[in-house]
């Protein structure tokens, strides 16, 4: 597992007081080391301070800056951390604004700022030269000769590949980090001095999120703080750490002390995303320069403390407003998909089997929304409840009452007699409650639904969800089959929130009450007889395991291509307060076995809309042989 802790820092500075600045820089480095960080990114020109103005043409300032770099190199000896510090560089009678990359006593390379701003409040070209054309040069300082110098430098330690750019570079049409990421950089550092204006922080944050997403990288951003000159501008010391489009860590701006934020970066996750991205397969076609790779080695990359947040429910946004927006969007995708299928086929009727469970309820709610969208009367939705040996009064009444309140064409067909006849036909004892006993009921229900669809000229809407497909928890050619499957890429943990969303926002009080009771009902196919108290005896999660665990396993297995070792590690961290390690290990093993052995069901799925980042459709997202071995995953 390749995790690495990175840091962004904003030290207290005093304009042009280099000795003062370097002491605070050292303090920040020590703080980052205490947290086991392997990279620390400082602001632009933080050694001198950014707002020196014409003092940048003073020999004294430049010489003291070089001396401070030497002191910093000596300080870094035997410290297992990569340091990105901002300072000026004189090269061939030109002054460059640079990122110095230091490790264990040496400057590994110097990266010049590619693009120099010279508009509005910025006038850097008065002092600095653009470094966009500096490719694979060498620069020398009084204490170290022949240092790699250029915008094309990539600093590599195994799977950890670092690239750097400076402030304005991020604001350009094609930032240097785009090229560096294509060449392999999965961690980008930006040394910045971005002043504060109203709403600029929001825009800055958006840029960093987007760049980390486009480049599929971690982006560490550090900007100058409040102790820069305030003659015309104010800086806030904004620190951000992003990963593949999301901000993992952000500080409170305008602080008046040394600031260091850290976060663990998941390199395996980034690299796996890149494997799927076509841009990274033909990167050489895009690069305007040849990359110069600088190798170095950390002495120890083990994790002392894993404190990265791992969401137990990765399919469900934890923020309530975001979750509500997600539910709204999913309903729109599902209903739009079903609407297209109905209008394309010219069908104005649907058939749905209603059990009083979560999945069929969601499928019904989607169908209701679709019919309202198309101005088709709800009575054209034929809802059929088919009580059997295990149907309880609770689920039966919820199914009946929900359909009545929603105004559908409700029909009831008891399957007991038909199943008893079928048991007799195939010579199966009604007392033998095995898989045949269960599947006979599931297939009888599907036969009824298919035949009524034919009879009525309707489209059979499927109800099965993504989690059931992953586990193969469906009867082949039973509930596994339909004419259009609206829930096929919705995981069970999200189904609950979608139903709750309708209960909370789009339902009458009576409908909401029924939906809430459905949400509180144990998940069950109700294919085994009721218990002595008339309650559900067959609870799905007792048999296949908790759906929240399986959805977690599914997310990391499919979305990130994670190894079982990593999935188990993350699951134990995320669910440490919910399940013991033995339980998690047991159900992960069950997930892997069922996922592989049940692929044949997914290879014959009906059409259905993809709503999230994961789908198991054999026509798109997941193409896997039905007879693949799972031996190396256990």
pLDDT in tens, 111-169: 999 999 988 888 899 999 999 999 999 999 999 999 999 999 999 999 999 999 999 99
User: Residue ranges of the alpha helices (H) in 346-491?
Assistant: 358-374, 393-406, 416-425, 435-456, 466-471
pLDDT of 365 reads 97
* Candidate list 10, 28, 167, 327, residue with the active-site label: 167
Residues of each annotated binding site for deamido-NAD(+): 439, 468, 473-476, 601
Contacts 24+ apart (CB under 8 A), 369-376: 369/331, 369/334, 369/335, 370/335, 370/338, 370/339, 370/342, 373/335, 373/339, 374/339, 374/342, 374/343, 374/348, 376/342, 376/348
pLDDT in tens, 20-30: 999 999 999 99
The domains located in the chain, with CATH, are 3-295 (3.60.110.10), 320-544+601-612 (3.40.50.620)
The residue to which tokens 């599914």 are assigned = 554
CB-based contacts of 268, cutoff 8 Å, min separation 6: 1, 2, 159, 560, 562, 566
Two structure tokens written together for 390: 């295990």
* Candidate list 31, 38, 113, 349, residue with the active-site label: 113
- C-alpha span between 418 and 448 (Å, rounded): 11
pLDDT of 172 reads 94
User: b/e per residue, 328-337, with b = 16+ CB within 10 A?
Assistant: eebbebbbeb
- C-alpha span between 447 and 435 (Å, rounded): 18
pLDDT of 537 reads 67
Q: In angstroms, how far apart are the furthest CA atoms of the chain? A: 101
CB-based contacts of 392, cutoff 8 Å, min separation 6: 526, 530, 534, 535, 536
Two structure tokens written together for 230: 């305030």
Q: Average pLDDT, stretch 335-356? A: 97
Two structure tokens written together for 473: 């928890």
The residue to which tokens 């509005």 are assigned = 120
Question: How do strand 94-103 and strand 82-91 relate by DSSP bridges?
Answer: antiparallel
Chain CA centroid to CA 17, Å = 43
Two structure tokens written together for 95: 């002054």
Q: Average pLDDT, stretch 290-310? A: 93
273 belongs to the catalytic site: no
pLDDT of 242 reads 98
Residues of each annotated binding site: 119, 194, 200, 353-360, 439, 463, 468, 473-476, 601
- C-alpha span between 601 and 163 (Å, rounded): 45
What's the mean pLDDT when you consider all of the chain? 95
List of E strands, 181-290? 187-192, 218-223, 239-243, 246-250, 259-266
pLDDT in tens, 153-188: 999 999 999 999 999 999 999 999 999 999 999 999
What is this structure's pTM?
0.92
Question: Residue 280 pLDDT > 90, yes or no?
Answer: no
Q: Average pLDDT, stretch 570-594? A: 97
* Candidate list 10, 31, 38, 44, residue with the active-site label: 44
Kindly report which listed range (46-50, 159-163, 303-307) carries the lowest average pLDDT score: 303-307
Question: How do strand 239-243 and strand 218-223 relate by DSSP bridges?
Answer: antiparallel
98 belongs to the catalytic site: no
Two structure tokens written together for 93: 């009678």
- C-alpha span between 11 and 23 (Å, rounded): 9
Q: Average pLDDT, stretch 609-620? A: 93
Q: Average pLDDT, stretch 93-105? A: 97
Question: Residue 105 pLDDT > 70, yes or no?
Answer: yes
- C-alpha span between 245 and 519 (Å, rounded): 33
Question: Residue 547 pLDDT > 90, yes or no?
Answer: yes
Question: Residue 283 pLDDT > 90, yes or no?
Answer: no
SS3 content of the chain, % helix, strand, coil (to 5): 40, 20, 40
pLDDT of 300 reads 93
Closest C-alpha among 626, 2, 625 to residue 303: 2
Confidence of residue 277 (pLDDT cuts 50, 70, 90): confident
pLDDT of 354 reads 96
CB-based contacts of 602, cutoff 8 Å, min separation 6: 469, 472, 616, 617, 618, 622, 624
431 belongs to the catalytic site: no
Question: Residue 289 pLDDT > 70, yes or no?
Answer: yes
pLDDT in tens, 498-535: 999 999 998 899 999 999 999 998 887 776 787 777 77
pLDDT of 527 reads 67
Cβ neighbours of 308 (radius 10 Å): 17
Share of the chain above pLDDT 90, in %: 90
Say if residue 56 is exposed, middle or buried (CB neighbours under 10 Å; 0-12, 13-18, 19+): buried
């Amino acid at each position: 597992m390749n995790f690495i802790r990175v840091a962004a820092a904003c030290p207290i500075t005093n304009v042009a007081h280099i000795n003062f600045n370097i002491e605070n820089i050292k303090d920040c480095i020590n703080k980052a080391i205490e947290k086991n960080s392997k990279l620390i990114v400082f602001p632009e020109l933080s050694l001198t301070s950014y707002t020196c103005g014409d003092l940048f043409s003073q020999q004294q300032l430049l010489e003291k800056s070089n001396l401070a770099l030497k002191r910093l190199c000596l300080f870094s000896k035997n410290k297992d951390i990569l340091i990105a510090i901002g300072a000026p560089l004189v090269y061939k009678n030109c002054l460059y604004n640079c990122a110095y990359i230091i490790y264990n006593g040496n400057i590994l390379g110097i990266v010049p700022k590619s693009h120099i701003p010279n508009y509005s409040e910025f006038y850097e070209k008065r002092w600095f030269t653009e470094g966009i054309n500096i490719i694979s040069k060498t620069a020398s300082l009084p204490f170290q000769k022949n240092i790699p110098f250029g915008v094309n430098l990539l600093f590599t330690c195994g799977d950890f590949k670092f690239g750097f750019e400076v402030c304005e570079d991020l604001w350009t049409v094609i930032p240097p980090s785009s090229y560096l990421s294509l060449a392999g950089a999965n961690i980008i550092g930006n040394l910045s001095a971005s002043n504060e204006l109203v709403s600029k922080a929001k825009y800055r944050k958006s840029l960093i999120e987007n760049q980390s997403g486009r480049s599929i990288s971690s982006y560490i951003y550090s900007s100058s703080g409040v102790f820069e000159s305030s003659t015309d501008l104010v800086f806030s010391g904004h620190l951000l750490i992003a990963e593949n489009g999301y901000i993992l860590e952000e500080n409170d701006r305008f602080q008046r002390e040394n600031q260091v934020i850290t976060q663990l970066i998941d390199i395996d996750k980034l690299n796996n995303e890149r494997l799927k991205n076509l841009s990274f397969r033909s990167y050489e076609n895009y690069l305007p320069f040849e990359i110069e790779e600088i190798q170095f080695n950390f002495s120890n990359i083990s994790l002392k403390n894993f404190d990265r947040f791992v969401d137990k429910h990765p399919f469900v946004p934890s923020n309530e407003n975001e979750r509500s927006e997600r539910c709204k969007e999913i309903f729109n995708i599902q209903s739009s998909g079903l609407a297209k299928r109905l209008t394309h086929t010219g069908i104005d009727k649907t058939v749905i089997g209603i059990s009083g469970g979560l999945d069929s309820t969601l499928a019904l709610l989607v169908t209701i929304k679709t019919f309202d969208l198309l101005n088709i009367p709800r009575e054209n939705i034929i809802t059929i409840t088919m009580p059997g040996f295990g149907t309880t009064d609770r689920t039966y009444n919820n199914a009946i009452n929900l359909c009545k309140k929603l105004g559908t064409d409700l029909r009831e067909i008891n399957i007991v007699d038909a199943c008893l006849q079928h048991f007799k036909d195939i010579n199966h004892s009604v007392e033998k409650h095995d898989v045949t006993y269960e599947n006979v009921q599931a297939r009888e229900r599907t036969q009824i639904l298919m035949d009524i669809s034919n009879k009525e000229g309707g489209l059979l809407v499927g109800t099965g969800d993504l989690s059931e497909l992953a586990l193969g928890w469906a009867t082949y050619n039973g509930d596994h089959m339909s004419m259009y499957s609206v829930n096929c890429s919705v995981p069970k943990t999200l189904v609950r929130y979608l139903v709750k969303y309708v209960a909370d926002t789009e339902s009458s009080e009576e409908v909401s009450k029924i939906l809430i009771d459905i949400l509180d009902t144990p998940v069950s196919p109700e294919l085994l007889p009721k218990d002595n108290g008339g309650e559900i005896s067959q609870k799905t999660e007792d048999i296949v395991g908790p759906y929240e665990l399986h959805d977690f396993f599914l997310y990391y297995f499919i979305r990130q291509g994670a190894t079982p070792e990593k999935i188990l590690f993350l699951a134990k961290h995320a669910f440490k307060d919910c399940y013991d390690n033995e339980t998690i290990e047991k159900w992960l093993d069950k997930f892997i076995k069922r996922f592989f052995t049940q692929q044949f069901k997914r290879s014959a799925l009906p059409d259905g809309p993809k709503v999230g980042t994961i789908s198991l459709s054999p026509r798109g997202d997941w193409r896997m042989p039905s007879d693949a071995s799972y031996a190396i995953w256990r």
